[in-house]
Amino acid sequence: MSVNLASARLWRGVPQAIAAIIAVVALAFVVPADGYYLNILMQAVTYAIAVSGLVVVLGYCGQISIAQAAFFGLGAYGVAIGMVDFHLGFFPAWLCGIGVAGILGLILGLGSLRLGGHYLAMVTISFQQILTLFLTNWLSFTHGPDGIRDIPRPSLGPISFAGGHAFLALCMVTLVIVTLAVWRLKTGRLGRAMQAVRDNELAASTCGIDVFGTKVIAFGLSAVLGGIGGGLFAGGFQYISPDQFSFGESIVLLTMALLGGVQSPFGSLVGTLVLIILPEWLRFLKQIYLAVYGAAVILIMVFLPDGLWGLMLDRVRKRAKPILGEVEKLPLLTQTGQESAEIVLEVKELAKHFGGLKALDGISLKVRRGSVHALIGPNGSGKSTFINVITGLYKPTAGQVLFAGQDITHEQPHLRNRAGLARTFQNIRVWRGMTVLENVMVGGERPGNDVAEDAALVVERALAALDFVGLRGDAHRMVGDLSYGHQRYVEIARALAATPKTLLLDEPAAGLNLTEKHELGELLRRLKGHGLTILIIDHDMKLVEQVADHITVLNFGRRIADGLPREVLNHPDVIAAYLGEPQEAAGVVA
Q: What is the CA radius of gyration of the chain?
A: 28
d(CA 60, CA 182): 10
Using CB positions, name the residue nearest to Mg ion: 384
Select from ligand ADP, Mg ion, none the partner in contact with residue 115, using the beta carbon and a kind-dependent cut-off of 5 to 8 Å. Answer: none
Q: What is the tally of helices (H) and strands (E) in the chain?
A: 25, 12
The verdict on 265 binding ligand ADP (CB under 6 A) reads no
Of 153 and 383, nearer to Mg ion (C-beta) is 383
Q: Does the protein bind ligand ADP through residue 380 (CB under 6 A)?
A: yes
The answer to whether 7 contacts ligand ADP (rule: CB under 6 A) is no
Chosen from Mg ion, ligand ADP, none, partner binding at 380 (C-beta under 5 to 8 Å by type): ligand ADP
Please report whether residue 580 would count as binding ligand ADP according to CB under 6 A: no
Distance of alpha carbon 443 from alpha carbon 479, whole angstroms: 14
354 binds ligand ADP (CB under 6 A): yes
Q: How far apart are the first and last CA of the chain?
A: 55
Pick one of Mg ion, ligand ADP, none as the site partner of residue 382 (Cβ within 5 to 8 A by kind): ligand ADP
DSSP letter for 532, please.
B
CB of 580 to ligand ADP, least distance (A): 13
Decide if 247 contacts 69 (C-beta within 8 A): yes
Closer to ligand ADP by CB, 250 or 381: give it: 381
Alpha carbons within 13 angstroms on the beta-carbon side of residue 477 total 16
User: For residue 233, which of 438, 427, 74, 420 has the smallest C-alpha distance?
Assistant: 74
Binding of residue 429 to ligand ADP (CB under 6 A): no
- Under the binding rule (CB under 6 A), the answer on residue 511 touching ligand ADP is no
Cβ-based nearer residue to ligand ADP, 340 or 379: 379
Q: How many CB atoms lie within 10 A of CB 473?
A: 16
Contact 260, 268 (CB under 8 A): yes
Q: Which among 88-96, 305-313, 377-385, 459-467 is the span making contact with ligand ADP, rule CB under 6 A? A: 377-385
Q: How far is the CB of 443 from Mg ion (least distance, A)?
A: 22
CA 300 to centroid of chain Cα atoms: 26
Out of Mg ion, ligand ADP, none, which partner does residue 7 contact, by CB within 5 to 8 A per kind?
Answer: none
Site size with ligand ADP, rule: CB under 6 A: 11
Q: Which does residue 52 touch among Mg ion, ligand ADP, none (CB within 5 to 8 A, set by kind)?
A: none
Return d(Cα 434, Cα 442) in angstroms, integer: 10
How far apart CA 347 and CA 363 sit, in angstroms, is 7
Pairing of strands 533-538, 372-376: parallel
SS3 content of the chain, % helix, strand, coil (to 5): 60, 10, 25
Quick one: which of 46, 250, 264, 385 contacts ligand ADP (CB under 6 A)?
385
- Which distant-in-sequence residues (6+ apart) come within 8 Å of 326 by Cβ? none
By CB under 6 A, tell whether 377 contacts ligand ADP: yes
Please choose which of Mg ion, ligand ADP, none residue 377 contacts, taking the beta carbon within 5 to 8 angstroms, the exact cut-off set by kind: ligand ADP
DSSP 3-state of 66 = coil
Return the range that interacts with ligand ADP (CB under 6 A); candidates 281-289, 343-351, 354-362, 570-578.
354-362
- Answer yes or no whether residue 379 interacts with ligand ADP by CB under 6 A: yes
Task: Kindly tell me which residue out of 426, 447, 459, 473 binds Mg ion, with binding defined by CB under 5 A.
Answer: 426
CB of 425 to ligand ADP, least distance (A): 11
CA separation for the pair 120, 115 (Å, rounded): 8
Q: Considering the rule CB under 5 A, would residue 384 count as an interface residue with Mg ion?
A: yes
Provide the binding-site residues for ligand ADP, judged by CB under 6 A.
Answer: 354, 357, 359, 377, 379-385
Provide the binding-site residues for Mg ion, judged by CB under 5 A.
Answer: 383-384, 426
